[in-house]
């Protein structure tokens, strides 16, 4: 889970960022020392709070979707935003794999995957499936329809997110 990213051709800047990280500098301090650094929006938590970690991951996914430069940026962003707006999904820990939005009842590092995945196909349709390469639960014209289908296929009785230790 990257908390920062970025690139630079200046090795001195890279060393400055690494030194600041090593010395325990807060993320915003690393950004000041190494201007090439981009904060991913994920948080540092001294005492891990699973609900806060899930919200942080949602915010990171939303930011990443908004910054995409790919052709399907708008459809992917719509999918992330629509899923985030759904309380049943927002209560889960989100993650992506192979451009599919997935959900867990535990945080990283040991995810406990639940429910279907959501993805945007090359045809612009939104797929809902039980495995990464499948849209076996349906293909939909809108993110809203796909998210509604995913919620219908969530197991009942999901509790709050817990630490995946």
pLDDT tens-digit profile of 34-45? Answer: 888 877 666 666
Task: Give the total residue count for the chain.
Answer: 165
Residue spans of the domains in the chain: they are 4-39, 50-152
Q: Between 3 and 152, where is the model more confident?
A: 152
The encoded tokens of residue 140 equal 């939909």
Reported pTM: 0.80
Q: Tell me, what's the pLDDT at 26?
A: 82
Determine the distance from the C-alpha atom of residue 73 to the mean position of all C-alpha atoms in its chain, rounded to a whole number. Answer: 15
Q: Tell me, what's the pLDDT at 27?
A: 78
pLDDT tens-digit profile of 37-69? Answer: 877 666 666 667 899 989 989 998 998 888 887
Rounded to an integer, what distance in angstroms lies between the CA atom of residue 153 and that of residue 86? 14
Q: Tell me, what's the pLDDT at 83?
A: 98
Alpha helices in 23-152 (DSSP H): 27-33, 50-67, 73-85, 87-90, 143-152
């Amino acid at each position: 889970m990257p908390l920062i990213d970025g690139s630079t051709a200046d090795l001195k800047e890279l060393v400055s960022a690494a030194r600041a990280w090593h010395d325990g500098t807060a993320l915003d301090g690393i950004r000041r020392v190494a201007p090439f650094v981009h904060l991913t929006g994920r948080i540092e938590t001294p005492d891990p709070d699973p609900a806060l970690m899930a919200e942080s991951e949602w915010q990171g996914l939303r930011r990443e979707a908004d910054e995409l430069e790919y052709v399907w940026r708008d459809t992917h962003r719509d999918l992330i935003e629509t899923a985030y707006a759904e309380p049943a999904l927002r209560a889960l820990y989100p993650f992506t794999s192979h451009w599919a939005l997935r959900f867990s009842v535990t945080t990283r590092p040991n995810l406990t995957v639940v429910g279907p995945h959501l993805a945007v196909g090359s045809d612009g349709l939104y797929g809902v499936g039980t495995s990464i390469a499948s849209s076996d639960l349906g293909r939909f014209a809108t993110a809203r329809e796909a998210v509604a289908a995913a919620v219908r296929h969530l197991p009942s009785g999901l509790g709050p997110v817990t630490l995946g230790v």
